[in-house]
Amino acid sequence: MPSIQLKTPSASYEIVIASGLVKTLPARLKKLKAGKPFRTFLVTSPEIWGLWGKQVIAAFGKESPTVLFLPAGETHKRLRTLESLLEQMAAAGADRDALLVAFGGGVVGDVTGFLAAIYMRGVAYVQVPTTLLAQVDSSIGGKTGVNLAAGKNLVGSFHHPLAVLADTDLLNTLPAAELRAGLQESIKAGIIRDPKLFGYLENNADAVLGRDAKALTHVVAASVRVKADVVANDERESGLRMILNYGHTLGHAIEAATGYKQLLHGEAVGWGSIAATRLGLMRGMIGKDEADRIIRLILRYGPLRSFKATAARLVDLTSSDKKKRSGTLSFVLPAKIGEAVIVRDVTREEMLAVAEWTLELVREQGAAAKQKQKRK
Amino acid sequence: MPSIQLKTPSASYEIVIASGLVKTLPARLKKLKAGKPFRTFLVTSPEIWGLWGKQVIAAFGKESPTVLFLPAGETHKRLRTLESLLEQMAAAGADRDALLVAFGGGVVGDVTGFLAAIYMRGVAYVQVPTTLLAQVDSSIGGKTGVNLAAGKNLVGSFHHPLAVLADTDLLNTLPAAELRAGLQESIKAGIIRDPKLFGYLENNADAVLGRDAKALTHVVAASVRVKADVVANDERESGLRMILNYGHTLGHAIEAATGYKQLLHGEAVGWGSIAATRLGLMRGMIGKDEADRIIRLILRYGPLRSFKATAARLVDLTSSDKKKRSGTLSFVLPAKIGEAVIVRDVTREEMLAVAEWTLELVREQGAAAKQKQKRK
């Protein structure tokens, strides 16, 4: 089974990608705690628990964990939800030997990781990501946190899990739209760092989208390798790690403009990646053929839902994004398939032009999707 | 001027104890940031700002910091207050180059440190403690956090400041009760680690309580040295650092039993230290003469306010204290003046006996204080 060791200055841990990990979860947790006493607190959403709760409980047998629920969705990724979970842990008598398990998608992982980072100034946790997005991206790298009214992920900690256990069986219950949205992060991984992964996604789209176990495991493992490699080289996002934000600058603006409800994160990142590619092309940083291949692959793994926004609003929202450092807006652009560069001199005019072009494509794709539905 | 370098595995920084530090604060911040651009956000309470705001603003001149207010008192040491400060920072456009300054007592320091720990997953901060308690104890060691309904300091981070600047001038506006309460932490430092400091406090009580500048500077610096030395040897409180909790196990229970409002933290610690000393005596771990000297010194720096509680309630509250590890209650007891040991086998019966004895002393002291007031 694919296993990747992520080694940073502050932590070293294993990311396992395989089928059947849920069944062996209790034994794996014990091994991770290496004989030390601990009490398991499993954080999940009611939806995921409805699908997988029985199997988890069966795996734990008599030593059932304390289960804490987090309502699904980005709107619950806030400090007030966190406070409720913290109070529940305290009421259940959790001490520093508590071991948290994040059993869910990106929101569950981010909130649980932050919960672990700050409960009694830090307890251990393990990531068991249940969505593709969480398996290939959000569960890896130790970024945890919640949103403010003022913006996404503005509050949080760097706090690494003891391990990431990505059970590919969990992807079988994932809605198709979430699978496709998660694959946008794999495409991103290919664009910025792994031309082979990019090629694999081009050549095996049917198998991947059809959830062929071998194809999915390959894509998840390759995506994880890209992320782990980048994080290992720049744990605290002082340089290289910024390339993981490819597609996210405009992506976050799109999410903010649509109230974080209309599009899945991966869909917004898909649109943002298209915009970044277009900007790279406008600047002559990437050739027309490669830019076309990128945009074609992103749309192949669509449809990306359409949305309404003005270019000015999107550009305004990008400058309030937290990737900004002391007034300069950093932007990750493609140099070629498999290589990204960070530029810091993008002007408002360029941004507006790219946003206009992208919004036009959004309208076209939206109209095409409607036509397609009518024909059905 | 006394300056102590605190070196831990994760950070190394200076603690300066001197008069006139506020006047040179802007220059010191610039030096700490070593030429890197930054924006200053000063967090303070309206009370402290009323006393010192003008001088701070005068020191900053044209480059005035953004001032954020935290209402005074333990009741505001909560996640909702933190969220309001986080949103204010975001609204003011703070990015990762923000430099926070905690200008206040323990609550301001703990909340500001935690704010710095989690805003954008961590920005820098400097402690400028304005109370004696904050100067000798809470500003040092990187513990930051807020309370839950379920208990004090149950949420937080280890996040070290860039420096601690303890301006002894700030102690001139401190209410007498707060000065005395803060000195209980200095007495604690003497008991657990520094017999010379203990002796100095015995022999110079009038000068210290009379705020003689030389005496106060001596006591603050010696207390800081004890804390810095312990923290340097055990940053994450896995062993030695627990001795700093001397007097705090029952102290926290007393604070919880009285709603965190009736006694100052240092007063509760004073009573807790007396209880720990009594327990040490009951167990034959410390001799009668030394135990008497400890209790006498604690009361000399009183009066410690009296309060009402039952022994059973106090003992119940100690077992919900977070110093508990997997069911075993740790207790720090004096072996002699200048040396503390951690014991893990204290029974409920012993706790009850010690709590009863302490509550009897609380009643006696309360009655004596009333008599004294009548006579006036």
Does A288 belong to an annotated binding site? no
State both tokens at B343. Answer: 């014991």
H or E element that contains A77: none
Q: How far apart are CA A127 and CA B363, in angstroms?
A: 53
CB-hemisphere CA count at 13 Å for A296? 13
* A109 lies in the same domain as A256: no
Of B181, B130, B147, the residue nearest B21 (C-alpha): B130
Q: Inform me whether the C-beta atom of residue B326 falls under 8 Å from chain A C-beta atoms.
A: yes
For residue A263, give the CATH number of its domain: 1.20.1090.10
Q: What is the mean pLDDT of residues B48-52?
A: 97
CB contact under 8 A, A150 and B117: no
What is the identity of the amino acid at A47?
Answer: E
* A166 lies in the same domain as A180: no
Q: How far apart are CA B21 and CA B126, in angstroms?
A: 13
Write out pLDDT tens, residues B287-318: 999 999 999 999 999 999 999 999 999 998 88
pLDDT confidence of residue B237: 77
The shortest CB-CB distance from A97 to any of B149, B158, B325 is to B325
CB contact under 8 A, A83 and B79: yes
Q: Which of A265, A267, A278, A305 is catalytic?
A: A265
CA angle A35, A41, A46 (to 5 degrees): 145
pLDDT confidence of residue B29: 97
Write out pLDDT tens, residues B190-236: 999 999 999 999 999 999 999 999 999 999 999 999 999 999 988 88
* B149 lies in the same domain as B186: no
The SS3 call for residue A41 is strand
Q: Which of B150, B173, B196 delimits the end of a domain?
A: B173
For B122, name the nearest residue in chain A, comparing CA atoms only.
Answer: A157
Q: Inform me whether the C-beta atom of residue A79 falls under 8 Å from chain B C-beta atoms.
A: yes
Of A36, A4, A32, A59, the residue nearest A125 (C-alpha): A32
CA–CA distance from B241 to each of A94, A369, B77, B198, B227 (Å)?
21, 63, 23, 19, 9
Cα B71 to its chain centre, rounded Å, is 18
Residues of chain B with Cβ-Cβ distance to A124 below 8 Å are none
pLDDT confidence of residue A201: 98
* Residues ≥6 apart with Cβ < 8 Å to B53: B44, B67
Q: How far apart are CA A265 and CA A269, in angstroms?
A: 6
* Residues ≥6 apart with Cβ < 8 Å to A310: A359
* Residues ≥6 apart with Cβ < 8 Å to B361: B274
Q: Which of B173, B202, B228 delimits the end of a domain?
A: B173
* B40 lies in the same domain as B160: yes
Does A130 belong to an annotated binding site? yes
Residue A146 Ramachandran class (φ > 0 left, ψ -120 to 50 alpha, else beta): beta
For A149, name the nearest residue in chain B, comparing CA atoms only.
Answer: B87
Q: How far apart are CA B273 and CA B276, in angstroms?
A: 5
Q: How far apart are CA B31 and CA B211, in angstroms?
A: 31
* B166 lies in the same domain as B202: no
CB contact under 8 A, A118 and B148: no
Residues of chain A with Cβ-Cβ distance to B322 below 8 Å are 95-96, 120
Write out pLDDT tens, residues A6-28: 999 889 999 999 999 999 999 99
Pinpoint the alpha helices (H) of B79-156: 79-91, 106-118, 132-133
Please state whether the peptide bond connecting residue A303 to the residue before it is cis, i.e. omega within 30 degrees of 0: yes
Of B368, B50, B159, B292, the residue nearest A159 (C-alpha): B159
On the question of pLDDT at A107 being above 60, the answer is yes
Q: Inform me whether the C-beta atom of residue A157 falls under 8 Å from chain B C-beta atoms.
A: yes
CB contact under 8 A, B87 and A148: yes
* A184 lies in the same domain as A163: no
**Mean of the per-residue pLDDT values of chain A:** 93
What is the identity of the amino acid at A315?
Answer: V
Query: How far is it between the farthest Cα atoms of chain A?
Result: 62
On the question of pLDDT at B369 being above 90, the answer is no
A157 touches B121 (CB < 8 A): yes
For B82, name the nearest residue in chain A, comparing CA atoms only.
Answer: A79
Q: How far apart are CA A70 and CA A45, in angstroms?
A: 5
Q: Inform me whether the C-beta atom of residue A159 falls under 8 Å from chain B C-beta atoms.
A: no
Instruction: Provide the total of helices (H) and of strands (E) in chain B, helices listed first.
Output: 14, 11
pLDDT confidence of residue B328: 57
Residue with tokens 């910091």: B65
B15 touches B140 (CB < 8 A): yes
Q: Edge-to-edge strand order for the sheet containing B66-69?
A: B3-7, B12-18, B163-167, B124-129, B98-104, B39-44, B66-69
The shortest CB-CB distance from B91 to any of A86, A150, A322 is to A150
Size of interface A-B (CB pairs under 8 A): 94
Q: How far apart are CA B279 and CA B255, in angstroms?
A: 20
Residues of chain B with Cβ-Cβ distance to A90 below 8 Å are 148, 150-151, 154
Q: Inform me whether the C-beta atom of residue A81 falls under 8 Å from chain B C-beta atoms.
A: no
* B137 lies in the same domain as B276: no
* Residues ≥6 apart with Cβ < 8 Å to B7: B232
CA angle B307, B310, B312 (to 5 degrees): 140
CB contact under 8 A, B326 and A91: no
Q: Inform me whether the C-beta atom of residue B96 falls under 8 Å from chain A C-beta atoms.
A: yes
Q: How far apart are CA B40 and CA B58, in angstroms?
A: 15
* A190 lies in the same domain as A140: no
CB contact under 8 A, A121 and B150: no
- How many distinct structural domains can be found in chain B? 2
Residue A159 annotated among the catalytic residues of the structure: no
Window from B30-39, B143-152, B193-202, B324-333 with minimum mean pLDDT: B324-333
Write out pLDDT tens, residues B62-103: 999 999 999 877 889 999 999 999 999 999 999 999 999 999
Query: How far is it between the farthest Cα atoms of chain B?
Result: 62
pLDDT confidence of residue B238: 76
A44 touches A190 (CB < 8 A): no
Q: Which domain holds residue A40?
A: 3-173
Q: How far apart are CA A205 and CA A303, in angstroms?
A: 13
CB contact under 8 A, A148 and B90: yes
Q: How far apart are CA A168 and CA A185, in angstroms?
A: 16
A301 touches A136 (CB < 8 A): no
- Classify residue B2 by its DSSP letter: -
Q: What is the mean pLDDT of residues A60-66?
A: 94
* A42 lies in the same domain as A90: yes
Of A195, A212, A257, A237, the residue nearest A330 (C-alpha): A237
**Confidence band, pLDDT 50/70/90 cuts, at residue B280:** very high
* A168 lies in the same domain as A226: no
Handedness of CA B353, B356, B361, B362 (dihedral sign): positive
For A81, name the nearest residue in chain B, comparing CA atoms only.
Answer: B79
Cα B153 to its chain centre, rounded Å, is 12
Q: Tell me the binding residues of B for NAD(+).
A: 106-110, 130-131, 143, 152
On the question of pLDDT at B325 being above 80, the answer is no
Per DSSP (E only), the strands in B186-344 are 331-336, 339-343
For residue A157, report the phi and psi dihedrals to the nearest 5 degrees: -140, 160
Write out pLDDT tens, residues A288-336: 999 999 999 999 999 999 999 999 999 988 876 544 544 557 789 999 9
Q: What's chain B's length in residues? A: 376
Q: How far apart are CA A182 and CA A264, in angstroms?
A: 9
Of A276, A286, A297, A263, the residue nearest A190 (C-alpha): A297
Does A292 belong to an annotated binding site? no
Q: How far apart are CA B118 and CA B115, in angstroms?
A: 6
pLDDT confidence of residue A325: 45
CB contact under 8 A, A37 and B326: yes
Q: Which of B145, B173, B201 delimits the end of a domain?
A: B173
For A10, name the nearest residue in chain B, comparing CA atoms only.
Answer: B10
pLDDT confidence of residue A328: 57
Of B74, B264, B72, the residue nearest B185 (C-alpha): B264
A143 touches A156 (CB < 8 A): yes
Q: What is the mean pLDDT of residues B128-136?
A: 97
Q: What is the mean pLDDT of residues A41-70?
A: 96
Residue with tokens 């603006």: A253
State both tokens at A150. Answer: 């003022």
Of B82, B95, B77, the residue nearest B41 (C-alpha): B95
Residues of chain A with Cβ-Cβ distance to B158 below 8 Å are 121-122
- Classify residue A123 by its DSSP letter: -
On the question of pLDDT at B115 being above 80, the answer is yes
- The residues of B annotated as belonging to the active site are 121, 143, 185, 227, 237, 241, 245, 248, 252, 265
pLDDT confidence of residue A326: 45
CB contact under 8 A, A83 and B86: no
For residue A153, give the CATH number of its domain: 3.40.50.1970
CB contact under 8 A, B83 and A148: yes
pLDDT confidence of residue B322: 47
CA–CA distance from A168 to each of A201, A295, A301, B252 (Å)?
18, 27, 19, 47
* B188 lies in the same domain as B331: yes
CA distance B74 to chain A (A): 17
On the question of pLDDT at A238 being above 80, the answer is no
* B238 lies in the same domain as B343: yes
